[in-house]
């Protein structure tokens, strides 16, 4: 089929639009940042209207750069920052509050109240997630409880809730004039409100969090025709794919079989391992939906979310001023042979998987008079690899098919020292694709499949191409010795913060 597929990649710090050709190659793109609003310590917000404006701008500019008319775009997909929560008025189209971003921790006291005596895992068997400030459900509850009149308006059916995909899909398909209020199974699985088996909203979760069912979007598959775009430069084109960003990266990496896994290295890192049509349970990792194509069987995944990886390099640059650009960290780390037994645990606001310790804080351990800037830089890079090793060990322990290689994407994959060290500490190859924009590519793949632009996932596998492979070369005994030291360092980060009292 001739033509192109477009993908809106709405991320935490910016929005991109990328045009892909039939070979899955990037034709052109445009990217624009939006404001990070931090009204209090631990609070992070975005302006949904600014995100919508940036989306319209990048679509128009991306099409212009590609020299492509909207009529040549066969389908459009959305990939989005997942747990970030938006509530808006169905009639006016105005958000009732800034979006509460996935990083935001304001709901920690609320989460403790919701957990009660039953504990943080009280919903886990049904929704696959522990009660945590990370997820959308408590953010929605907070908005209903703290925005004047919100609960009453929600109960009257005047308000709509969604993650950013829902907000954009509603705006693109008409907004107050008949816009489609929907989400896909991957985003719904990150709310704490969806039953992973039935793929429907989970009544006991709604009751626990005080969420009126009338605010919720319809849950759809990740690849189907949702409706015609009616707003902006893509008017008249079909919206046909939606995936949360990490699932989109898994899909864009063509990890379609059990045991196939990817790691995205960004501000934090996100490891997803495909477990197939059977969902695996883990006490420390998240059970989540990997994707669903139309009416086909749902595919599940285990996910390990790591809060700080690339952000640690930014911290070296902006706070310690150890480097002046992120690119300088690799040559600085290469100025020494190893980390000099220095370990950095970047628990700046607690630890995510596999610990889920909100009381942890960052530590640098193993310092001696021998340590220098190079050792600190190397320890910062190694922290990303060690945290990924912990998550993958947990996934391998419960998955029916452990991973044989790790596909990687994100900005830190340009760091060859890190990629080699990642292969060394995992003991399996690490593989980087030619197309690095795997999140947008996954959304494009999902949309293209829905309209027949691509025939099936096997055709997508043929479009995926390897750029670089790193084979492990560290001896097993040395790997395990250093891993034990890392775990010792992690334990030193625990019990630093007294937990706040429940609301």
Residue 199 has which token pair?
């793929």
Diameter over CA atoms, the chain: 67
Between 200 and 268, the more confident residue is 200
Residue 341 has which token pair?
């037994």
Q: b/e string for 111-134 if b means 16 or more Cβ within 10 A? A: bbebbeeeebebbbebbbbbbbbb
pLDDT score of 359 more than 70: yes
Distance CA 100, CA 167 (A): 13
Instruction: Give Cα 270 distance to the centre of its chain.
Output: 6
Q: Are 79 and 446 in contact (CB under 8 A)?
A: no
| Backbone phi and psi for residue 264, each to the nearest 5 degrees, phi listed first | -105, 120
Q: Dump strand ranges (E) for 35-72.
A: 45-46
Angle at 82 between CA 77 and CA 88, to 5 degrees: 90
pLDDT score of 276 more than 90: yes
pLDDT score of 230 more than 60: yes
Mean pLDDT of the chain: 94
**Residues 374-390: what's their mean pLDDT?**
97
pLDDT score of 21 more than 80: yes
In this prediction, residue 356 carries a pLDDT of 85
In this prediction, residue 1 carries a pLDDT of 66
Q: What is the pLDDT of residues 124-167, one digit of tens each?
A: 999 999 998 989 999 999 999 999 999 999 999 999 999 999 99
In this prediction, residue 501 carries a pLDDT of 58
Q: Is the dihedral of CA 389, 305, 402, 413 positive or negative?
A: negative
13 band by pLDDT with thresholds 50, 70 and 90: confident
224 band by pLDDT with thresholds 50, 70 and 90: very high
Q: What is the pLDDT of residues 299-352, one digit of tens each?
A: 999 999 898 999 999 999 999 999 999 999 999 999 999 999 999 999 998 898
In this prediction, residue 401 carries a pLDDT of 78
60 band by pLDDT with thresholds 50, 70 and 90: very high
Instruction: Give Cα 452 distance to the centre of its chain.
Output: 27
Q: What is the pLDDT of residues 397-456, one digit of tens each?
A: 988 878 899 999 998 999 999 999 999 999 999 999 999 889 999 999 999 999 999 999
Q: Are 104 and 44 in contact (CB under 8 A)?
A: yes
pTM of the predicted model as reported, rounded to 2 decimal places: 0.92
Residue 435 has which token pair?
């197309």
In this prediction, residue 500 carries a pLDDT of 61
In this prediction, residue 342 carries a pLDDT of 97
Which residue, among 214, 208, 210, 203, has the nearest Cα to 159 in the 3D structure?
214
pLDDT score of 502 more than 60: no
Q: Is the dihedral of CA 388, 390, 395, 401 positive or negative?
A: positive
Residue 95 has which token pair?
């958000």
Q: What is the pLDDT of residues 31-41, one digit of tens each?
A: 999 999 999 88
pLDDT score of 503 more than 60: no
Q: Express as a percent the part of the chain with pLDDT over 90.
A: 88
Cα end-to-end distance, the chain, whole Å: 56
Antiparallel, parallel or unpaired: β 269-276 and 299-306: antiparallel
Q: Which burial class, exposed, middle or buried, applies to 70 when counting CB atoms under 10 A from its CB (0-12, 13-18, 19+)? A: middle
Distance CA 316, CA 457 (A): 41
67 band by pLDDT with thresholds 50, 70 and 90: very high
Instruction: Give Cα 56 distance to the centre of its chain.
Output: 22
pLDDT score of 385 more than 80: yes
Which residue, among 370, 393, 166, has the nearest Cα to 271 in the 3D structure?
393
In this prediction, residue 499 carries a pLDDT of 66
């Amino acid at each position: 089929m001739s033509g192109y597929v477009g993908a809106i990649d709405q991320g935490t710090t910016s929005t991109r639009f990328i045009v892909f050709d039939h070979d899955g190659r990037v034709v052109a793109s445009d990217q624009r940042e939006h404001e990070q609003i931090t009204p209090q310590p631990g609070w992070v917000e975005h302006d949904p209207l600014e995100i919508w404006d940036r989306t319209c701008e990048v679509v128009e500019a991306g099409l212009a750069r590609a020299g492509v008319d909207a009529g040549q775009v066969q389908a459009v997909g959305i990939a989005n920052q997942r747990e970030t929560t938006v509530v808006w008025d169905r009639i006016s189209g105005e958000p009732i509050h800034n979006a509460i971003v996935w990083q935001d921790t304001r709901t920690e006291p609320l989460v403790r109240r919701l957990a009660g005596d039953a504990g943080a895992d009280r919903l886990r068997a049904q929704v696959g997630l522990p009660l945590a400030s990370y997820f959308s459900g408590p953010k929605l509850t907070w908005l209903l409880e703290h925005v004047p009149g919100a609960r009453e308006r929600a109960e009257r059916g005047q308000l709509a809730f969604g993650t950013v995909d829902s907000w954009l899909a509603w705006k693109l398909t008409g907004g107050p004039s008949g816009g489609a209020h929907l989400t896909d199974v991957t985003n719904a699985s990150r709310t704490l409100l969806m039953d992973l088996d039935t793929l429907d909203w989970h009544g006991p979760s709604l009751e626990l969090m005080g969420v009126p069912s009338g605010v919720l979007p319809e849950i759809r598959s990740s690849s189907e025709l949702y409706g015609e775009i009616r707003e902006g430069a893509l008017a008249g084109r079909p919206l046909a794919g939606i995936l949360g960003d990490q699932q989109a990266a898994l899909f864009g990496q063509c990890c379609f079989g059990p045991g196939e896994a990817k790691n995205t290295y960004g501000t934090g890192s996100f490891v997803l391992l495909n477990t197939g049509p059977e969902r695996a349970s883990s006490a420390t990792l998240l059970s989540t939906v990997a994707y669903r194509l139309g009416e086909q069987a749902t595919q599940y995944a285990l996910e390990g979310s790591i809060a700080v990886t690339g952000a640690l390099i930014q911290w070296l640059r902006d706070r310690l001023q150890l480097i002046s650009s992120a690119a300088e960290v690799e040559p600085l780390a290469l100025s020494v042979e190893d980390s000099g037994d220095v370990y950095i645990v970047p628990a700046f606001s607690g630890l995510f998987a596999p610990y889920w310790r909100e009381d942890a804080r960052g530590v640098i351990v193993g310092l001696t008079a021998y340590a220098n800037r190079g050792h600190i830089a190397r320890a910062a890079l190694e922290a990303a690899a060690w945290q990924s090793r912990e998550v993958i060990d947990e996934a391998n322990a419960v998955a029916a098919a452990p991973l044989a290689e790790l596909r990687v994407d994100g900005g830190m994959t340009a760091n060859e020292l890190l990629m080699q060290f990642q292969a060394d500490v995992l003991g399996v190859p690490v593989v980087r694709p030619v197309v690095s924009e795997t999140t947008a590519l996954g959304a494009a793949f999902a949309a293209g499949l829905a309209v027949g632009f691509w025939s099936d996932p096997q055709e997508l596998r043929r479009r995926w191409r390897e750029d670089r492979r790193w084979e492990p070369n560290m001896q097993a005994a040395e790997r395990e010795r250093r891993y034990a030291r890392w775990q010792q360092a992690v334990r030193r980060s625990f019990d630093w913060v007294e937990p706040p009292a429940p609301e």
